[in-house]
Structure 1
Amino acid sequence: MRLILAPALAVGALLFAPGGSQAQPPQPPPAGNGTPTAVLAPPAALRVDGLPPVPASLASEIAPYGDFSITRFVSWHPSAPEMLVMRRAGNTAQLFLLTDPMGKPHQLTRGRDPVRDALFEPRRGDYILFTRDSAGDEATQLYRLDPKTLAETPLTPAGEFYSPGPWNSAQDKMVVTSRPLDRNGRRAQAVVDVYAIDPMQPEARFKLATLAGAGWRVLRWLDRENRLILSEVASGTRAKLWSLDMATGKRSELSDYESGDENASDRWLYRKRFDGDFARLSRVDVRSGDRQWITRDFDFDIESWSIAKGGKRIAVLANVAGTTKLKLYDGDLKPLTVPALPPGVITAVSWHRNGRDLALSIESADSPGEVFALDTDHNIVTRWTGHSAVGGVRRPFVEAEAISWRSFDNMIITGFLHRPNPREFPGKRPVIISIHGGPESLARPGFRGRANFWINERGYALIYPNVRGSAGFGRRFMEADNQKKREDSVKDIGALLDWIHAQPDLDPTRVAVVGASYGGFMALASSVAYAPRLVAAIDSAGISHFVTLLEGTETYRRDLARAEYGDEREPDMRRYLDAISPLSHAEKIRVPLLVSHGRNDPRVPVTEAEQIVRKVRGNGTPVWYVLAEDEGHGFTKKSNVDYLFAAQTLFLDRYLQRRN
């Protein structure tokens, strides 16, 4: 923690000039007894503008709530009972090896940027492949890691977005896809280049295909038939499955409305398809295209799945009102008994090659995320990871309460509410509405991390809504905000404000709205539509104008964004997008605003933040702005997150603790 001395009550001033150089905070005479108050200096990569100094005492009070580290399962060793997991090491998420349940994790990677994903070499686990970008720029590179020497060897050139794909039949070469990055969204058309690479001889890679469009994914490399099985995603609910003959370049469609993949056997491709209103799991014959349904026995959306080697067993995660339910099936698609599992939300499942042990990542209100293994032969659950106790936090953490309300058109909207302890915080409580991004993501009743400070130490009630457009509630709900229905999701927040007004323990005169990415748009749009009913808003990496977003986002993302938001090249849609964008109505934003963004964000360009900050300040409205030079779409480095959360807390305390 870096401290500087500043007056206790100093007001914010410009801390970085238009050119980006950071100036010293203002130093008026000390208040009170003349003793300067220690404040938290922003990390070197952060540029702060319009913020008052963050008291060091506040940062220290919050600090324990940032000491929790989520552990995420990554990959099983192909033969040994060992696994790779991801957890924070110092400032970023890194890769660890576990050789025994509850054993000491062995750190495998180090670096200033986080590891994004990893997998073992599939035959003997002789090496590990992992991906990493630089400062959040999404120019993701593929590396080979020697687990004995920890030597890292780059396998792909810098400057493009590489993703690992399936292996060939001998499992000595793999598909790697590459998406060019243009940094300004001006490329005429997105393309996906498909390469074959031997990770032990990366210089000998060769191109298999070039695919026009952004939504391509290679699902299977049938090298003996010189074929690729491809998925072409058009939107969150529409995709097609293709077979590509690499000798002739001819594509033939296998089936329609697909998404997802699991490489389980030579014959079957396990796929998710919307059947009626719900996303169900099926398996498709890669030669005939014939389909067998697996999850028609319940009406919930399938989220993810894992297939044991040879299709011996199938594990499926279904979304049940924002929570998860594990379903197991045998190779004949007959349901299997699922034993009692640790409480919480299951975020990932993965079979070991032995077809018996199923890894589970589980988080809950009280746990930041741990890894377990289910022995499905004996229905025994073994815990693999644990964390040291974190002191200085008030326990227990508040469990989420499922809530629902009717929106303007009678559509039922759901979410999760965390109420602070009424004995410690009596009376009507201030409310923070936290809106997820995506928009095709969803809020879950999981671990709230630093936000537990707001609940347990400040007594703020937190609501996590799943407005229309959220995934997991059926196709009609997911598509209910598309294109010219965009404002309907904002109206869901208006209906939530009505619901808050009717609650005896919530204060409708002290409500703040926060959101990241698409949630940032929702926070800004709510500030336009419901300014008299809000006291503050926080926008993190949010969209301020849909036309400038679509024109400036990375080319490989634009087509999918147009499917969701609309095509800005069409005059009528362009007018609509301009009309609903918060930037077009910035004069109506009269609530104080805190904006944060990463300089290297390829998804939502940093100009989205710059233009809304500039225009809202033109109203005379207070705007705090935090820019990270070493981040992309969202802050990932602990030091940056620590400072930003402390600034957000200072901001919310200033406006939520006022009484009208």
Structure 2
Amino acid sequence: MAAIGLEPFLHVRTAKDPVYAPVGNKLRFIADYTGLPQVWELDRGEGWPAQISFTKDRVSLIKYVNGTTDLIIGMDVDGNEKQQLYLLKEDSTVIELTKSPEHVHLYGGSSPDGKWIAWSSNRQNSAFLDIYIQNLKTLEVRLVYSGNGMFSVVTWSPDGSSLLIQKTNTPLDNDLGVLNLSTKKLNWVTEHTGEANFKSAHFNKDGDHIYVLTNKDREFFGLALIHLKTKQLSWLERGNWDFESLAMNQDQNKLAYTINEGGISKGMILDLNTSNIYTWKTPMGVISNLKFSPDNKKLAYEFNGSAYPSDIWELDLQTIQAARLTYVSRSPVLNERMTEPELINYRSFDTLQIPAFYYQPKNASTKLPVVLYLHGGPESQSRAVYNPIIQYLINLGYAICAPNVRGSTGYGKTYTHLDDAQKRLDAVKDLVSLVEWLKLNRNIDFNKIGIMGGSYGGFMVLAAICHFPKYWSAAVDIVGISSIRTFLQTTSPWRKKQREAEYGTIEKDGRFFDQIDPLHHTEHIISPLLVLHGENDARVPIKEAEQMVNKLKERSHPVEFIRFNDEGHQFVKLKNKRTAYKEIVKFLEQYLGK
């Protein structure tokens, strides 16, 4: 095939977060047709979607208000993650609800009668999230629960008298409780010892039980039923992979969920009346954001695969056949150029088996330059989804390997904790073992190895080139951490405690941070480095990039720095994605070639 440029890969649009209209045949979703995520509406009788919102900032959330055609939408400013909530009317009028731009607002759903919404915010204390409800007619705001913790709303009870709320203890441990809105009494229902996570909870019809995904006393998430009065937990379905994305239909007799099998989704439907379980066929990829239609005949979901960029699909619940609803991501010029990965496993330095996705150019015959692509988190996972820069580099002749090193999610609790606190460099050693494995088992050029990652993946990049410098010919750090110490000192206050559960604290582990932080080992770096960062990053402040770049410039090391003044922790705007990806490709071509 003849070579093509970056633009077709970059201009692949995505559709996500489907929500059915309460009545009729319409479905709304978020799509970046215009280069900025906005709300679009699909009338399945007419074909092409219509744009519904016209805001200057990205739309990051859409939810219908119960019993109405109004939407709650969420937006921040230039990626600063201080989400504000708005009411989007049928005529596209936008009404500001939260009106507190310096604070975070996490949406918690609308009351059954559609008169109130719930959300959490750090308005009272920047380090904590409290619970509020708001009247949609008068816009009155009421504080209904506060405490020294991270509280958020999961959903309203069926009768609207209480809220199911969550207290996040760490990113991997939480509790659920029922807050009575009249008495303000809070009844915790998931008290536990050890680490346990409870997510995607739904009330049953009578409001006396909840269906939930949890890994309580287990390595993996399964499907359970919890009796709210007795707090007794009963398992419905379990397995040796994590269950994800639980959804319930309006008749409350069907549940939909997915199983994450090594980074690839399998969709499941459970009929609560018959206990029958159904699955359906999909390409290789990830299913998320499951939504039942109001008539209980359809299930919409977001599907994102390496060769199938994010679009909205729909499952017919009678025939159990899936069909693609939107073609936002369709690009005929790319149809034959998309590459799906091979799932590999390799032994690390201590014999631990590490999974990874390996992408190889089609019809490759010579030794290949290879780029290791590292996920963030670290409580996250590389999955089989579309990534424009990965696909473009493959088409240029690069092999790409995306490992799920120790500390990744998806492989059980034990695996996720193998890089905690002072075990941090063990995950970096996994990267070295991967290079050695690729050298023996794949046709790569050992003199042309690049490494690239974002957020915590950026920290891993910097740690790798500092502590194991001889392996890398080029490195790309995207919004990465250069010092865990300074990161904990400057990240958003409400995130700090959550991150300390993973990294440790300055008081206890500060000396260890100084021993491993890339910022203190820049003299060992021999590979050229490209750094990209958003000015408004609330998670990893741009200081992390600036201090690393300044130290390298002091010794005239080859380093390039690109600052985006109107982005945060992610590059959302098309113009910025274009700049970022072009510079990454140019940089890798200069130092790795083909």
1:175-574 correspondence runs (5 A): 175-180=118-123, 190-202=127-139, 204-214=140-150, 216-222=151-157, 227-245=162-180, 250-255=185-190, 256=192, 257-265=196-204, 266-274=207-215, 275-296=217-238, 298-332=239-273, 334-387=275-328, 390=331, 393=334, 395-422=336-363, 425-456=364-395, 458-570=396-508, 573-574=509-510
Aligned: 1:144 with 2:87 = yes
Contact residue 419 and residue 426 of structure 2 kept, 8 A: yes
Aligned: 1:607 with 2:551 = no
- Using the TM superposition, give the Cα deviation of residue 408 of structure 1 relative to its aligned residue in structure 2, in angstroms: 1.3
> Residues 578 and 239 from structure 1, CA distance in 2 versus in 1: closer, same or farther, beyond 3 angstroms?
same
Contact residue 540 and residue 597 of structure 1 kept, 8 A: yes
Deviations 1:80-118 (A, max 9, x none): 232111111322111101110671111011233211010
> Residues 392 and 332 from structure 1, CA distance in 2 versus in 1: closer, same or farther, beyond 3 angstroms?
closer
RMSD between aligned residues:
2.2
Distance 1:595 1:102 in 2: 46
What does residue 114 of structure 2 align with?
171
Unpaired segments ≥5 residues, structure 2: none
Contact residue 465 and residue 527 of structure 2 kept, 8 A: yes
Partner SS, residue 502 of structure 1: helix
Contact residue 520 and residue 541 of structure 1 kept, 8 A: yes
- Using the TM superposition, give the Cα deviation of residue 222 of structure 1 relative to its aligned residue in structure 2, in angstroms: 4.7
> Residues 69 and 223 from structure 1, CA distance in 2 versus in 1: closer, same or farther, beyond 3 angstroms?
closer
Q: Which amino acid aligns with 1:92?
A: L
What TM-score do you get using the length of structure 2 for normalisation?
Answer: 0.93
> Residues 481 and 343 from structure 1, CA distance in 2 versus in 1: closer, same or farther, beyond 3 angstroms?
closer
Deviations 1:45-86 (A, max 9, x none): xxxxxxxxxxxxx9x932122111111133111222321111
What does residue 575 of structure 1 align with?
511
Structure of higher RCO (CA pairs closer than 8 Å, 6+ residues apart)? 1
- Using the TM superposition, give the Cα deviation of residue 391 of structure 1 relative to its aligned residue in structure 2, in angstroms: 5.8
Contact residue 101 and residue 385 of structure 1 kept, 8 A: no
Aligned: 1:83 with 2:27 = yes
> Residues 599 and 429 from structure 1, CA distance in 2 versus in 1: closer, same or farther, beyond 3 angstroms?
same
Distance 1:385 1:509 in 2: 43
Aligned: 1:637 with 2:578 = no
Contact residue 143 and residue 154 of structure 1 kept, 8 A: yes
Partner SS, residue 208 of structure 1: strand
Distance 1:376 1:521 in 2: 44
Distance 1:213 1:369 in 2: 35
1:54-203 correspondence runs (5 A): 61-100=5-44, 103-125=47-69, 127-147=70-90, 149-157=91-99, 158-180=101-123, 190-202=127-139
Distance 1:467 1:342 in 2: 25
Unpaired segments ≥5 residues, structure 1: 1-57, 182-186
What does residue 560 of structure 2 align with?
624
Contact residue 74 and residue 117 of structure 1 kept, 8 A: no
What TM-score do you get using the length of structure 1 for normalisation?
Answer: 0.84
Which segment is superposed worse, 242-251 or 275-284?
242-251
- Using the TM superposition, give the Cα deviation of residue 198 of structure 1 relative to its aligned residue in structure 2, in angstroms: 2.0
Partner SS, residue 243 of structure 1: strand
Q: Which amino acid aligns with 1:493?
A: L
Distance 1:382 1:394 in 2: 18
Q: Which amino acid aligns with 2:571?
A: F
Partner SS, residue 450 of structure 1: helix
Contact residue 534 and residue 567 of structure 2 kept, 8 A: yes
Q: Which amino acid aligns with 1:450?
A: I
Distance 1:531 1:102 in 2: 57
> Residues 564 and 355 from structure 1, CA distance in 2 versus in 1: closer, same or farther, beyond 3 angstroms?
same
Partner SS, residue 481 of structure 1: coil
Contact residue 241 and residue 258 of structure 1 kept, 8 A: no
Q: Which amino acid aligns with 1:647?
A: E
- Using the TM superposition, give the Cα deviation of residue 225 of structure 1 relative to its aligned residue in structure 2, in angstroms: 8.6
What does residue 184 of structure 1 align with?
none
Distance 1:504 1:321 in 2: 21
Distance 1:589 1:442 in 2: 27
- Using the TM superposition, give the Cα deviation of residue 155 of structure 1 relative to its aligned residue in structure 2, in angstroms: 0.6
Deviations 1:377-402 (A, max 9, x none): 23233321114753655823121111
Distance 1:464 1:177 in 2: 35
Contact residue 169 and residue 223 of structure 1 kept, 8 A: yes
Distance 1:159 1:487 in 2: 36
Contact residue 258 and residue 271 of structure 1 kept, 8 A: no
> Residues 446 and 224 from structure 1, CA distance in 2 versus in 1: closer, same or farther, beyond 3 angstroms?
closer
Which segment is superposed worse, 313-322 or 281-290?
281-290
> Residues 394 and 344 from structure 1, CA distance in 2 versus in 1: closer, same or farther, beyond 3 angstroms?
closer
